[in-house]
Structure 1
Amino acid sequence: MAYFLQMITLFQLVCTIIVIWKLQLWWQTEDHLLLTPKVWDGIDAYGYVGFMFLFCFKMTPCLSLPFTVMNTIALCFTSIWPNPPQLDVHKSNIPNICFRVVTRGLYKKLVIRTLEKNIETCLKTGLEKFNFEVVTDCPLDLCTSVFVQEIVVPKTYATKHNSKFKARALHYCLEKGISNLCEDDWIVHMDEETLLTQGSVIGLANFAAKGMGDIGQGVITYANTEIINWWTTLADSVRVAIDIGLMKFCFQKLHRPMYGLKGSYIIIKCSVEKKIGFDYGPKGSIAEDLYLALEAWANGCKFNFVEGEMWEKSPFTIIDYIRQRKRWFVGRMFTILSPTIPLKYKLLLIPADLSWLLLLFNVVTMFVPLKTPQVLIVINSWTGGLIVFLFMFGSVQSFSLKRYGFRRKILICVCNVMIIPLVACLDGIASLWGFFWNIDTGFYIVQKEHISYENANEAEV
């Protein structure tokens, strides 16, 4: 069944690319009703300077070519319809797993509620040796539990290189006498709103017991709990598709973080984390997850993929979505520009982030008439078709058929394709905002608790 679904998916990808290619050819026909030969000439219509600028922006999809090629290979040679993970080891052979949650301490109810659900999931799965560490800037006074340890980071604490934000808190846990973990224990990094599933617990247990790598990462989905903002949830579906395809291929087949690492759903051996640390300085602290990945890669660590998925929520507002992406872009840019990480570990990140920076210009110039070479048409069609496919595939993987039904799921996929230009504009605005303004404002954290959660929680009590 999985093989059949894989073939259907690849067929859909090819069809999508062909459709985009046909649309490009139609748009570039000289007898197009909206265009004249003079406009197609470019130089006569826009002048030499205007033509050169326009042609350069038309070439920006070429920067995405490595990303496009890698994604296509990943979709062809990676199992993108896996069966639910099964526990392959005896429970007594599973080492201790510490789930480390970092928070500023602003959402106490959310932290408590998430902890209770995650502990229940671990117990239901049959995990025997586990604990939760809540690392917080502000004391939360969590209820005493054999599974939970609260670590408060002192305001006076400073690392050697003056790391900030989440990196500072994580590095504090590595200081002598702070955490009780042993060298052979495993640490799972999660955000304060991240929910475990039984599949992810099984995947983590298999990874740790088998020693499948030094660092692992799994898939996070954003539509399995209450949806607060449909726009941002649909926009995040492409991340799910990239996780299932590209990230899984890089981690499972290549054992390298070619395109980095997400900050949540990371499993890392305690001894490895102590060796690498999180003291990356102020600029390296904005995207500490990417810095960790590249540092670990440079130090010869082996990466692998974790089966099973965890659940999170998309940003609650459009402005939070933009600010989140802005922080990601700024953090990635600082990491790429860091002289401490050799260039060879950043070769695929550079064109990808340049493409992100120029994304808004690419969207605007997409509708400006100008004849382009056939090679560029093929590249544009390949890249555009892949993006459309990833949004559709991400929707299929994110939204449960049992929960939404067949008709609503088809409608969601169609709506997701329709908002691609909006998503591209929002991501483009975020990158330009981060590049030109307020480049060092800090670590923006999106709103993570909604009034409906509080009401639901009070109703339960």
Structure 2
Amino acid sequence: MTTSEHLMRRESLEWANSVAHETMPLTESRKRSVWRPGFSSFLIGFTVFGAFGWWAWARDPDFGFMGWIAAVVWTLPIVNTVIGMYGSVRTAVRLRRERKLPVTAAIVRDPLIVVVPTVGRHDTYPALERVVRSFCRYLPDYFPHLRVDVVVEEGCAAYDRIVALAATDHLIRVVTVPRGYRTPNGTRFKARANHYAHELRYAEGEARGDVWVLHMDDDTGVSSDTAEAMARFLNAQWLAGENARHLAQGVLSYPREHAVNKLTWLADAVRPGCDISLFAATTGRGVPRAGLHGELLLVRASVEAATGWDFGPQAIVEDAQFALLFCGRHPGGSDWFPGRSYGASPATVADFIRQRERWSWGLFRLAFDRGVPLRHRLLLLHNVLIWACGPIQHLALILLVGSLLGDTDTTPVSAALLPVWAANMAYSIWLYWEGMKINISASADPRHRWWEPPCLLLLIPLFSLLEAIAVFRGMVRFLRGGESTLNVIAKPM
């Protein structure tokens, strides 16, 4: 009997007489999520780009210098395309299987601690208040042993407002990191706050195997479907025994009503697309070598206690570093679940670029960190190579360089590359298309606006250019070396 079948049996029995049970949820569960990956956008994109490429190659099969350049940079992403589409199929199969489960999940008896580090500025407080209230509203329905730890720096600007927020609900605790606190390795920024919270849990006797920690960002909330999906996952681990997983990642979503800027909201559609494909194939298979998000991340407290977050003063992508260390210590120990978090996209294009720049800078550092075994960095090194080529992968830049050199012919050196290029282009479109579907389904009004699909498709080249600019800036900062800095963007929603 599979884990899902065990879970179906347990939940069916537990809820058969739910009226008499003290485990009846306090509020009615939100309608089960109906989103699931579709593949029509990939198939249409593959057909269109494949047909166009074959037509162009048949007209002029000769190639020049730019053809060699295109053969390299447009072929590199094929590994991610294959992994991503494999993950999307796994997601579709999993969601179809989970539709057979009871409508309402069973109560989780294991303690759950939500950890929300925040810089504590006034321009980030509105988002923090929104997400903390969402934890207190939705999570107690399935997690009766719940606590929300808001981790702040001593003397932060919005400290009084955060303390006042904590006074409104007994579930909220403010954890203040002393100004003079230092980790043994001199870790800074968010990882320092996470490490302090981890040490506090250890001192309080909460670093146990039956305690789970939910890591969330200060702009990322939950809803009832999130709580239900997490409850299903944790109940499944209770049934799995020695085969239980120790870490799991959910799906990031960006509801329309949280968007200050519609352009960045459309551009962020790529993130949930990656969650249901690349991350479902890696984290969902027990090996999070593609990294992790710092939000909607469930970790067993005993496992986190054995690793910690003390990665040194240069660490700015602590979630990805934790993932690679986890791969070595707990092979096969991670999973993926279909619950959604509810975040907000950057408020401006400049913030969007700064956010991606910091990520790429940190990931470049991590990819070449010899403190992490090479076998766990291989996928990240591959991705870093693709990102480094990102600026010259963009069609506009290739045509610009080609026009300066007097050679704009991007005909491939072999017709065998045409389906590879078509697959890579189709996968890029699929990521944005499926991600937008998830973001819309997570919105208060889950209907498509007439302008959203055409705008998304037309703007994908612009989004790719913005991502390429951010990666280039991050690569330059990595090559220059120097001390890491943390630039926290404003979070007005």
Q: TM-score, normalised by structure 2?
A: 0.80
Structure 2 unmatched ranges of 5 or more: 1-31, 238-243, 400-407
The one-letter code matched in structure 2 to 1:194 is T
1:13-412 matched pairs, under 5 angstroms: 13-30=42-59, 41-42=63-64, 51=65, 55-79=68-92, 90-91=106-107, 93-106=108-121, 107-123=124-140, 125-137=141-153, 138=156, 139=159, 140-142=162-164, 143-144=166-167, 145-175=169-199, 181-183=206-208, 184-211=210-237, 212-252=244-284, 254-283=285-314, 285-301=315-331, 302-363=333-394, 364-367=396-399, 368-372=408-412, 373-400=414-441, 403=445, 405-406=447-448, 408=449, 411-412=451-452
Q: Distance in 1 between matches of 2:147 and 2:323?
A: 24
Q: Secondary structure at the match of 1:397?
A: helix
Q: Is the 8 A contact 1:94 1:205 kept in 2?
A: no
The one-letter code matched in structure 2 to 1:403 is D
Q: Distance in 2 between matches of 1:235 and 1:391?
A: 8
Q: Distance in 2 between matches of 1:168 and 1:159?
A: 7
Q: Distance in 1 between matches of 2:377 and 2:207?
A: 32
Q: Distance in 2 between matches of 1:338 and 1:126?
A: 40
CA displacement at 1:24 relative to structure 2: 2.0
Instruction: Supply the RMSD in Å over aligned alpha carbons.
Output: 2.7
Q: Distance in 2 between matches of 1:117 and 1:147?
A: 12
The one-letter code matched in structure 1 to 2:328 is A
Moved more, 69-78 or 364-373: 364-373
Q: Is the 8 A contact 1:200 1:308 kept in 2?
A: yes
Residue 405 of structure 2: aligned partner: none
The one-letter code matched in structure 1 to 2:219 is E
- Distance change >3 Å, CA 224–CA 269, structure 1 → 2: farther
The one-letter code matched in structure 2 to 1:382 is A
Q: Distance in 2 between matches of 1:394 and 1:98?
A: 29
Q: TM-score, normalised by structure 1?
A: 0.85
Q: Secondary structure at the match of 2:462?
A: helix
Q: Distance in 1 between matches of 2:372 and 2:262?
A: 38
CA displacement at 1:186 relative to structure 2: 0.6
The one-letter code matched in structure 1 to 2:290 is Y
Q: Distance in 2 between matches of 1:180 and 1:360?
A: 49
Identity %: 24
The one-letter code matched in structure 1 to 2:221 is L
Q: Distance in 2 between matches of 1:371 and 1:116?
A: 55
- The count of residues paired between Structure 1 and Structure 2 equals 425
Q: Secondary structure at the match of 2:340?
A: strand
Q: Is the 8 A contact 1:88 1:206 kept in 2?
A: no
